[in-house]
Copies of this chain bind each other. A is one copy, B any other.
Amino acid sequence: MVTRTAQERRDEEKRAYDAYLAACPARKLLDEVSGKWVSLVLVALGDGPQRYSDLSRRIAGVSQKMLTQTLRTLERDGLLTRTVTACVPVRVDYELTDLGRSLRQLVAGIKDWAEARFEEVESARDRYDARSAALTIGSDGAG
């Protein structure tokens, strides 16, 4: 089939892209760090070691699944340590490593930026939306 060659070409491009990503691990890491909960966990751990339940309380809206998953990934990446204390109710503490602290600094910077600038962003949105609405109305009646 002729259609196969197109499919094959796309597959090849896909493989080339995957190879590119493999050759650029920093970008995959960048992607991972951009995860929805990563920044929140990192910031939450900024105040020192925290128990699992502390984290789930401090990070509003996180499911235990996503919290566990995020913590596992960060532990694997060497950004935090997981310490199990085998007492009667099991106790697990999470703490940032030096590597994790170095990233936390940067992430906290973004968080601060978001908190400091979101008003500017919102007013920009209002202007944009107002402009869009005006264009829609304008192009509606008048040719």
Contact = CB atoms under 8 A, between A and B. Distances in A.
Interface string A104-140: 0011011101110110111111011100000000000
Contacts of A35: 34
Q: How many copies does the complex hold?
A: 2
A79 B36 CA distance: 21
A92 interface: no
Contacts of A33: 110, 114
A66 interface: no
A121 B77 contact: yes
Nearest to A128: B76
Interface SS, A side: helix
A10 B111 CA distance: 29
A60 interface: yes
Interface string A9-38: 000000001001100011101110111100
Interface residues of A, number: 43
A61 B129 CA distance: 30
A30 B110 contact: yes
Given A60-B17, A76-B128, A125-B77, A106 B110 contact: yes
Most buried by B among A21, A113, A123: A113
A76 B113 contact: no
A130 to B, nearest CB: 11
A77 B30 contact: no
